[in-house]
Amino acid sequence: MRGRWWGLAVTAVIVFLLVYVGLNYLGQGNEPTISYTEFSRQVDEGNVEKIYSKGDAIQGQLKEARDDPDGDGEYTKFKTQRPAFADDDLWQSLDRRDVTVTAQPVVQQRGLVSNLLLSLVPIVILVAVWIFFARRIGGGMGGAGGMLGRKAPPKPVELRPGTQRTTFADVAGIDEVKGELDDVVDFLEHPDLYRRMGAKMPRGVLLAGSPGTGKTLLARAVAGEAGVPFFSASASEFIEMIVGVGASRVRELFAEARKVAPSIIFIDEIDTIGRVRSTGASVSGHDEREQTLNQILTEMDGFSGSEGVIVIAATNRADILDPALTRPGRFDRVVNVSPPDRGGREAILRIHTREIPLSDDVDLVQVARTTPGMTGADLANLANEAALLAVKRGQEQVTASDLSEALEKVQLGAERTLVMPEEDRRRTAYHESGHALLGMLQAGADPVRKITIVPRGRALGVTLSTPEVERYAHSEEYLRGRIIGALGGMAAEQVIYGVVTTGAENDLEQVSNIARGMVARWGMSPRVGRLSALPSDAQQAYGLAAAPATLDAIDHEMRRIVDECYEEACLKLRDHRGQLDALAQALLENETLEEAAAYRIAGISRLTKKEP
């Protein structure tokens, strides 16, 4: 949008310069301005045929051409200026040499019609350029029914040839959400049954959840299951610089949807226009957003109503939506779409690998177990990355190794070809061994899946730990274990070298977040007490969220917990120094250790670990 307006401005400047040149230089001929001395000489020689004078300005024409004094060729017509102090009997000289003194200018100027046409040229060009850019932008004022063209009315989403409708069979891992939407599908398929019972069709369904959880896919599946027209739009498409365009487009969208009712309108990222309305004065951008929101509110539950049209909206920020939008009668149902559990991840992986040939060693159950927290989009990307790796290696099937490497690339970043000094490499090996060994020793800690000192992303080495089962509530012991494990790298450097390095930056960020949550949000500090002193959405500017004394108490308790965990981490590593050295030596030799090899080298059996 900004680039197009810049193009329009540059075009206007070019048109102005062209017209300026035309008005000042075109159509005026090449008559030179000569000196009055040269003019007097030509009169004395009898070479002047006629002149025209207005005041002291003189125009004339010679009988025979003369060389231009400025060296620009020859000339016959000329202009000059008689000095005010001249007393040379000019009229007598002209009369003696039969010079005609005319009443019409010798050098003809442009007429009224020519000047008028030249003045209209820039206006015509600017209007043409404006129309061109307005149509390219997407209607501009024409989107609001203006004079510069009109944007085509919205049409239902049509399937491309050879493709099939998306149905609930293409959606997995969120069965509870599908159950919520089954009612909408059944209503669209059998509206008469509900009307006889006096039930009203829900006006809207709001899908709220983190990015990649399948909100857009769910909306397409509802339309595919019901077999009704499906209109799709992004909330940002309604916002324009010109106030009133968004409201006009909303009216147009709902009008087209009513023509083919029952139908579904899907609005993605509705928080773009659905934010809480301000009470003070606002600039035009906010006016446009609020007018668009008001129009949506009216269309969904106004006097006109929208019988037969269901609005499905998706957002990542349901907490900032206007209350008028989320009340019953507008969005009757708010459906939270959460990341899938282990069974859901397995089902999602099976859907995304339907067309990918898998080798016999691929265990999707194990892959689902090692991917906690990943969304449907993450798992789709994982399957695609594994397929790309298989193609690069010239394989005909995707193997377990491809999936494992793709998972590392997705979670940890791509490998870097970094040549490290041997001392830095050894220090990194001990750092990662400290993480891994404490994860193995700590009761209830997440199992260690892989240790590597191959640089990936911004990290010089990585220890990958994932839970064996899904955890939805964490105990204080488990959180302390995570802090101890995260401090394991720094503790190992302290135990072995007596110093710490900058390699623990990311570890300290994790430790600070966990400790802050324990003290200020989850009531795990006796001094702060059982209260939420620091809500999660206030962590970025938490200085304004609590009293200074409370903030001091939070900082004191965070330091106490982290210091206790660090002392315990150093003590355990000193007590198990042999196992730490063995892991570090194995990493220096192999660079990467898988789960079974890591536990075997450390001499720890996972079966003997205590579970909380």
pLDDT in tens, 412-449: 777 777 677 888 889 989 999 999 999 888 876 778 88
Domain boundary among 412, 432, 458: 412
Sign of CA dihedral 456, 457, 460, 465: negative
In a domain, 45, yes or no: no
Q: 560: exposed, middle or buried (C-beta count within 10 Å: 0-12, 13-18, 19+)?
A: middle
The rounded distance, in Å, linking the Cα atoms of 76 and 131 is 47
Classified as helix, coil or strand, 90 is helix
- 163 labelled ligand-binding: no
pLDDT reported for residue 318? 81
Q: How far apart are CA 446 and CA 484, in angstroms?
A: 12
Average pLDDT estimate for 399-417? 81
Q: Is 240 a catalytic residue?
A: no
Q: What's the CATH number where 248 sits? A: 3.40.50.300
Query: Could you tell me whether strands 309-315 and 204-208 are parallel, antiparallel, or unpaired per DSSP bridges?
Result: parallel
The last residue of one of the domains, among 302, 336, 370, is 336
Element (H, E) at 50: strand 48-54
Counting residues of the chain whose pLDDT is more than 90, the rounded percentage is: 12
Q: Is the pLDDT of residue 558 over 90?
A: yes
* 390 plus 503 within the same structural domain: no
- The DSSP bridge pattern shows strands 230-234 and 333-336 to be unpaired
Query: Based on the domain organization, do 242 and 316 belong to the same domain?
Result: yes
Q: Which of 58, 83, 70 is nearest to 32 (CA)?
A: 70
- 605 appears as a binding residue in the annotation: no
| Residue at 84 is within a domain | no
Does residue 83 sit in helix, strand or coil?
A: coil
The answer to whether 214 is annotated as binding is: yes
Structure tokens at 600: 């075997």
State the DSSP H helix or E strand holding residue 66, giving kind and residue range, or none if neither.
strand 57-67
Shared-domain flag, residues 393 and 281: no
Q: Count of CB atoms within 10 A of residue 16's CB?
A: 13
DSSP run (H or E) holding 38: helix 36-44
- Angstrom CA distances, 226 to 39, 187, 217, 300, stand at 95, 9, 14, 20
578 and 546 belong to one structural domain: yes
- Going through 246-385 in order, the beta strands assigned E by DSSP cover 263-268, 309-315, 333-336
Residue 481 resides in a domain: yes
Position 538 in a domain: yes
In a domain, 329, yes or no: yes
Average pLDDT, the chain: 78
Q: Is 435 annotated as a binding residue?
A: yes
Contact 105, 77 (CB under 8 A): no
Q: How far is residue 372's CA from residue 378's CA, in Å, rounded to a whole number?
A: 11
CATH, residue 431: 1.20.58.760
Q: What is the pLDDT of residue 242?
A: 52
d(CA 453, CA 587) in angstroms, rounded, equals 7
Residues 355 and 435 in one domain: no
- Provide the pLDDT for residue 537: 53
Choose from 47-51, 363-367, 560-564 the range with maximum mean pLDDT.
Answer: 560-564
Tell me the range of 76-90, 258-272, 300-314, 511-525 where mean pLDDT is highest.
Answer: 511-525
Q: What integer pLDDT is reported at residue 297 of this predicted model?
A: 83
Bond before 191 cis per omega within 30 degrees: no
The model's confidence at residue 564, banded by pLDDT at 50, 70 and 90, is very high
Segment 229-246 mean pLDDT: 71
Phi, psi of 359 (to 5 degrees): -80, 170
pLDDT-based confidence at residue 150 (cuts at 50, 70, 90): very low
Compute, in degrees rounded to 10, the torsion defined by CA atoms 171, 172, 176, 182.
30
Same domain, 376 and 443: no
Instruction: Give the residue with greater pLDDT, 10 vs 441.
Output: 441
215-218: long-range pairs with CB below 8 Å, 24+: 215/268, 215/314, 215/337, 216/266, 216/268, 216/314, 217/166, 217/170, 217/171, 217/376, 218/171, 218/174, 218/177, 218/178, 218/181, 218/337
User: Across residues 180-198, what is the average pLDDT?
Assistant: 80
| Partner residues linked to 456 by β-bridges | 415, 459
212 is in an annotated binding site: yes
Query: Are both 587 and 457 inside the same structural domain?
Result: yes
Rounded to two decimals, what is the model's pTM? Answer: 0.64
Residue 563 sits in the same domain as residue 432: yes
Residue 99, in any domain of the structure: no
In this prediction, residue 49 carries a pLDDT of 84
Beta bridge partners of 101: 51
Whether 523 has a binding-site annotation, put simply, is no
Sheet of 448-452: strands edge to edge? 462-465, 448-452, 592-594
Tokens 């397929």 -> residue: 387
Q: What is the rounded CA–CA span in Å between residue 216 and residue 221?
A: 9
Lowest mean pLDDT among 135-139, 345-349, 448-452: 135-139
Residue in the structure block whose two tokens are 């139908």: 263
295 and 401 housed in the same domain: no
Please report, for the domain that includes residue 373, its CATH number.
Answer: 1.10.8.60
Whether 439 maps to a domain, the answer reads yes
Spatial distance between the Cα atoms of 264 and 423, rounded to a whole number of angstroms: 63
Number of structural domains found in the chain: 3
Of 240, 385, 432, 557, the active-site residue reads 432
How many CB atoms are located within 10 Å of the residue 497 CB? 13
Q: Determine whether the annotation assigns residue 302 to a binding site.
A: no
Report for 145-154, 229-238, 517-526, 601-610: range of highest mean pLDDT: 517-526
| pLDDT at 583 (0 to 100) | 92
**How confident is residue 26, by pLDDT bands cut at 50, 70 and 90?**
low
Residues 298 and 374 in one domain: no
Phi first, then psi: give them for residue 477, nearest 5 degrees: -65, -40
Same domain, 261 and 365: no
Q: 298 and 346: one domain?
A: no
The DSSP string of 515-557 is: HHHHHHTS---TTT-SS-SS-GGGSTTGGGSS-HHHHHHHHHH
Tell me: pLDDT of 176 over 50: yes
Q: Label residues 236-263 b or e (16+ Cβ within 10 Å = b).
A: ebbbbeebbbbbbbbebbbebbbeebbb
Tell me whether residue 463 is in a domain.
yes
Confidence of residue 99 (pLDDT cuts 50, 70, 90): confident
Alpha-carbon distance of 205 to 332, in angstroms, equals 6
**Final residue belonging to a domain, choices 287, 319, 336:** 336
* Predicted confidence (pLDDT) at residue 465 exceeds the cutoff of 50: yes
The CB-side HSE value for 221 (13 A sphere, CA atoms) comes to 19
Q: Are 592 and 452 in contact (CB under 8 A)?
A: yes
Structural domain including 375 reads: 342-412
Over residues 293-347, the pLDDT tens digits come to 888 888 887 545 446 788 888 888 887 888 888 888 788 888 888 888 888 888 8
